[in-house]
Structure 1
Amino acid sequence: MPQAVFLGLSTLDVVHARSRALGANEKARAAAQFLAAGGPAANAAVTAAALGIDATLITALGDHPLADIARNDLRHHGVHVIDVVEVSGTPPLPLSLIRLATASAERSVSSLNDGALAAAVPPVLPAAALDVVSAAEAILFDGYYPDLARSALASLPDSARIVLDVGSFKEVYRDLAPRAHIAAASADASIPGATDPALGLLALGADAAIITAGGEPIRVVEAGGEESIAPPAVAAVDTLGAGDAFHGALLAAALCRPREHLSWQVDFAARVASLRTTVLGPRAWLDSPTIATFAGELTS
């Protein structure tokens, strides 16, 4: 089974869904509620595991009772979890509060991101994490816990495929990008010194830049030129974590089908992410029989 590492943020996502967004000072009953692990690296790892990847998440959880909810969710969905926090009595992991409007598939998210728990994160990877990283075939960085990211970068095999999830620019990307095969960002990402995020990511040293824009065509930009990949047209009801699913599927495709052109890998990831948007809730989409079809594409 192909092995991949995901290094970065985990949160606990509290999701309320209803047909439309609430107005100011409005109270209303939610149509559905969900509780699951979240965060870019965590959701990407869950997606990759569903696609048949041996996925290990290196993250910070701590020993607060809320961390057990996230930890159990990740393990239930096939992700090996290495918690870098080795002290006791930690504050809770970050909570993300999400309001989802299903009629428009729009959501609002507030979170502390790494929050108070960041103080308990060591400056270098623990031994168990280093062992996994030193044997990794591929790794995804989301830019959180930059000291750990640099520690991992120094221990990676030269052959490891590296994918960057550039959700928002972080200084550590200056160190990671020169070794990255793929850097993925949204069209509204801001890269210092660049008016075009794709060109900015290439200037930082990434081999290729992938720029997504929701349901709009995806830009695949390399030094030799640019392609455009149209994602499937679907009736979206829930876009939460769709970008994370895209990144997890992209890494899986790059790992399992390295000889395929990058445009195929991006198209594969777009199809996986589009499926995510058609199902309400952070995990129910993983029960779709289409997931097995996708996993089969990676081994054919």
Structure 2
Amino acid sequence: MTKSALFVGLITLDLIYLAQSPPNNNQKLVATDYTVAAGGPATNASVTFSYLGNKSQILGVLGSHHITQLITTDLANYQVTIIDLDANKQTSPPVSSIIVTESTGERAVISINAVKTQANINSLPPHILENVDLVLIDGHQMVISKIIAQQAKIKNIPIVIDGGSWKPGFEEILPYVDYAICSANFYPPNCKKEEDVFNYLQALKIPHIAITQGEKPIQYLSSEKRGFINVPKIKPLDTLGAGDIFHGAFCHYILQTNFTAALELAGKIASKTCKYFGTRSWMQCEIRF
């Protein structure tokens, strides 16, 4: 049976270049490859969730600037429905410029996030959670996300957060969360190491917590059980979007299996995608999981 998820957060346009290295001051580089795609943590997760055979909706601010057509076309190709919280906005959506280093797969990113495109709570459509099986929040639309989290909790719809980095306002959303999937860069106030992060999230009574660490094992805490999950060893070409793809895959698998199995399966997908350039080419090159 097809599952449906609502992804709440950032919608960007990503300009992605593959090069020998990021440029130095006053240096011009010629990229060896490039691609353009819709981006943002929740957006990339929604594409992955849809690719894995589900129904995806992305809730965020897009607007009507002419370059939004590049975003809408990309998301239409992956059957992701856009719910635009400010369809009349005339200014450009956030644009990210990303340079991926060929030899290591590491990326350098410069972007504008959603700070200048915060949605008004009055723009939230009614019945937004109708027929939704899961919600993912990436923290880029905090006011809207809090309302969604409160409504989802009442309806017993599981809530996942993509904790890529700490953002003010997360403290108001975390008490509603079922699955906190964080990166090694996620540090709540007064947290300086991973043990502090686990303690902080556990104090909020979040039942399932995980911290991803790139190619290192995933740490998790679930029902008082601590452990590690290894991720496959690969030679990366591009690590851009791996965390977003991990979250989208996790949302897919957590609706089918238990927490640790969902983490392991999501880790396998995210690792494989690092063998391909950009955030979409793995979908054309890999057999369906």
Task: Check if 1:243 corresponds to 2:243.
Answer: yes
Q: 1:24 to 1:182 in 2, by over 3 A?
A: same
For normalisation by structure 1, the TM-score amounts to 0.90
State the AA in 1 paired with 2:211: I
Deviation at 1:223, TM superposition (A): 4.7
Report what 1:204 is aligned to.
Answer: 204
Aligned to 2:44: 43
2:171 is aligned, of 174, 182, 204, to 174
- Normalized per residue, which structure has more helix? 1
Matched, 1:20 2:29: no
1:25 shift after superposition: 2.4
Query: What code does the residue aligned with 2:12 have?
Result: T
Counterparts of 1:188 and 1:8, CA distance in 2? 18
1:146 equivalent in structure 2: 142
Q: Which whole-Å CA distance do the structure 2 matches of 1:203 and 1:125 have between them?
A: 33
Of 234-243 and 147-156, more deviation after overlay is shown by 147-156
User: Sequence identity of aligned pairs in percent?
Assistant: 29
Match of 2:108 in 1: 108
Question: Cα 1:116–1:175, aligned 2, differ >3 Å: closer, same or farther?
Answer: closer
Structure 2: distance between partners of 1:239 and 1:148:
29
Paired with 2:91 and 2:116, the residues of 1 have a C-alpha distance of 7
* In the alignment, structure 1 residue 194 sits paired with structure 2 residue 191: yes
Residues 270, 24 of structure 1: CA spacing in aligned structure 2 closer, same or farther, 3 A cutoff?
A: same
Specify every segment of 5 or more residues in structure 1 that has no aligned partner in the other structure, as ranges: 295-300
Taking only aligned residues, the RMSD between alpha carbons, in angstroms, comes to 1.6
CA displacement, residues 252-272 of structure 1 (integer Å, 9 cap, x when unaligned): 1112x1xx3311110011011
The CA deviation string for residues 228-255 of structure 1, in whole angstroms up to 9 with x for no partner, is 0010111110011000000111111112
1:161 aligns with 2:158: yes
After superposition, the C-alpha distances for 1:148-171 in whole angstroms (9 at most, x for unaligned) are 112212332532111001112123
C-alpha contact (below 8 Å) 1:124/1:151 kept by paired residues: no
1:94, distance to aligned residue in structure 2 (A): 0.5
* Residue 69 of structure 1, CA deviation: 0.9
Q: Which moved more, 1:51-60 or 1:24-33?
A: 24-33
1:212 maps to amino acid: T
CA distance in 1, matches of 2:182, 2:275: 22
Please tell me whether the aligned partners of residues 61 and 87 of structure 2 are also in contact (alpha carbons under 8 angstroms).
no
SS in 2 for 1:264: helix
Residue 128 of structure 2 aligns to a residue whose secondary structure is helix
Contact kept, 8 Å, 1:174 with 1:204, in 2: the verdict is: no
- Alpha-carbon offset, residue 172 of structure 1: 2.8
Give the distance between the partners of 2:167 and 2:131, measured in 1 at CA: 26
The aligned residue for residue 258 of structure 2 is: 261
> Which of the residues 97, 122, 132 maps onto 2:120?
122
Structure 1 stretches of 4+ with a deviation exceeding 4 A read none
Q: Distance in 2 between matches of 1:132 and 1:75?
A: 20
Query: What residue is the counterpart of 1:29 in the other structure?
Result: 30
Aligned length: 284
**Structure 2 alignment gaps of length 5 or more:** none
1:49-84 deviation line (CA, Å, top 9, x unaligned): 000110111111001011121121111111111111
After superposition, what is the alpha-carbon deviation per residue over 1:184-232, rounded to whole angstroms, capped at 9, x for unaligned?
A: 1112321113333222222233211110111000001135121100101
Q: CA deviation at 1:33?
A: 1.1
SS at match of 1:139: strand
Give the whole-Å Cα distance in 1 for the aligned partners of 2:203 and 2:69.
41
SS of residue in 2 equivalent to 1:252: helix
**1:248 is aligned with what amino acid?**
G
Letter in 2 for 1:141: I
